[in-house]
């Protein structure tokens, strides 16, 4: 406790900046850059997820990613597929589960929420079984809650490419996506391929989740996807405003969360998320207060 307080008073932002440029602390730099690159697709895709109220689907996709990670780790160790990076497994699992979840939510005659819940936990169960059967020690916690030591240079390059791809797709199809989110029947009448656009949105969500898994983990990435747009939505009059504020808020949470985590010696993912959650709470209380 005492040491912590000591570090608080000493861990100023200047120390954080020095650490960022310290040659031995490259992981910190990588984490920050990944967070900043990631804040663009997180804020942009998150805006649509929140506006369309499909956070639950996004959470299901994120959790089922563990199946792909577990499978890839197993294949690396047992089958010697050393080229199969866990992130490729995560990507495959995310795209498959996004497609299944999308089709269920569009077509299902059954209870949609129950089916999606089943996909959510099945994905996790598959991952946990693979991890248990993988020889040697596998740190499942790192994937669930993030570990900035996992962030490598190559992650950063892959993430940047993914971010560029997501932004390009949004620039091209944003009108269709907005129309489908706001009023899918009307969009269909105007000739928009509603189901394809809806699936596209879920696939973008899957990509965004996977690119941030190493930083904040499967469980926490959902909060980073949905909290900043939810805060932005309290004041935004249009989706463009909401999106812009969400990107800035996400970047802010990542920078200050990393700083707090470094200065207070706290785990990174939870620091970022808790910061976002506190700001959300304060912002919505303020909104409440202003209304009354």
Window of 59-67, 189-197, 247-255, 268-276 that interacts with other proteins by CB under 8 A: 189-197
Window of 54-62, 66-74, 111-119, 178-186 that interacts with other proteins by CB under 8 A: 178-186
Nearest-approach distance from CB 240 to other proteins, in angstroms: 9
Residue 17, exposed/middle/buried by CB under 10 A (0-12, 13-18, 19+)? exposed
Q: Which of 118, 132, 189, 282 binds other proteins (CB under 8 A)?
A: 189
Q: Which of residues 112-171 bind other proteins (CB under 8 A)?
A: 171
Nearest-approach distance from CB 179 to other proteins, in angstroms: 5
Residue 19, exposed/middle/buried by CB under 10 A (0-12, 13-18, 19+)? middle
Q: Which of residues 15-74 bind other proteins (CB under 8 A)?
A: 51, 53
Nearer to other proteins, 22 or 193 (CB): 193
Nearer to other proteins, 50 or 216 (CB): 50
Nearest-approach distance from CB 43 to other proteins, in angstroms: 14
Q: Which of 182, 281, 282, 286 binds other proteins (CB under 8 A)?
A: 182
| Chain centre to alpha carbon of residue 141 | 16
Q: Residue written as tokens 């390009």? A: 168
Residue (of 200, 218, 219) closest to 86 by Cα position: 218
Q: Are 186 and 179 in contact (CB under 8 A)?
A: yes
Report how far residue 286's alpha carbon sits from residue 260's, in angstroms, rounded to the nearest whole number.
24
Window of 58-66, 89-97, 140-148, 174-182 that interacts with other proteins by CB under 8 A: 174-182
Q: Which of 107, 193, 286, 288 binds other proteins (CB under 8 A)?
A: 193
- By three-state DSSP, how is residue 60 classified? helix
Cα-based torsion angle of the residue sequence 8, 13, 17, 23 in order, rounded to the nearest 10 degrees: 0
CB neighbours of residue 3 within 10 Å = 8
| Chain centre to alpha carbon of residue 126 | 21
Nearest-approach distance from CB 237 to other proteins, in angstroms: 4
CB neighbours of residue 98 within 10 Å = 26
Nearest-approach distance from CB 117 to other proteins, in angstroms: 23
Number of residues in contact with other proteins under rule CB under 8 A: 28
Which residues make up the interface to other proteins (CB under 8 A)?
A: 51, 53, 171-173, 175-176, 178-179, 181-183, 185-193, 233, 236-239, 241-242
């Amino acid at each position: 406790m005492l040491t912590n307080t000591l570090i608080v008073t000493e861990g100023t932002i200047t120390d954080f900046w020095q650490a960022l440029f310290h040659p031995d602390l490259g992981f910190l730099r990588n984490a920050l850059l990944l967070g900043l690159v990631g804040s663009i697709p997180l804020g942009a895709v998150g805006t649509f997820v929140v506006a369309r109220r499909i956070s639950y689907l996004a959470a299901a996709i994120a959790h089922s990613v563990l199946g792909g990670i577990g499978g890839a780790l197993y294949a690396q160790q047992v089958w010697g597929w050393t080229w199969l990076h866990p992130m490729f497994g995560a990507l495959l699992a995310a795209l498959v589960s996004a497609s299944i979840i999308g089709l269920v939510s569009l077509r299902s005659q059954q209870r949609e929420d129950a089916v999606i819940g089943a996909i959510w936990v099945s994905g996790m169960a598959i991952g946990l079984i693979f991890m248990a059967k993988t020889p040697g020690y596998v740190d499942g916690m790192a994937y669930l809650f993030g570990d900035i030591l996992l962030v490598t240079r190559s992650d950063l390059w892959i993430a940047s490419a993914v971010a560029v791809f997501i932004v390009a797709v949004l620039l091209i199809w944003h009108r269709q996506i907005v129309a489908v989110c706001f009023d899918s029947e009307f969009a269909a009448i105007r000739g928009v391929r509603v189901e394809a656009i809806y699936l596209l949105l879920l696939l973008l969500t899957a990509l965004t989740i996977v690119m941030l898994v190493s930083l904040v983990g499967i469980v926490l990435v959902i909060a980073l996807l949905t909290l900043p747009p939810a805060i932005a939505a309290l004041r935004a009059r249009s989706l463009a405003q909401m999106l812009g504020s969400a990107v800035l808020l996400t970047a802010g949470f990542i920078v200050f969360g990393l700083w707090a985590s470094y200065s207070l010696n706290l785990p990174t993912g939870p620091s970022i998320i808790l910061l976002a959650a506190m700001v959300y709470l304060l912002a919505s209380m303020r909104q409440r207060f202003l209304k009354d």
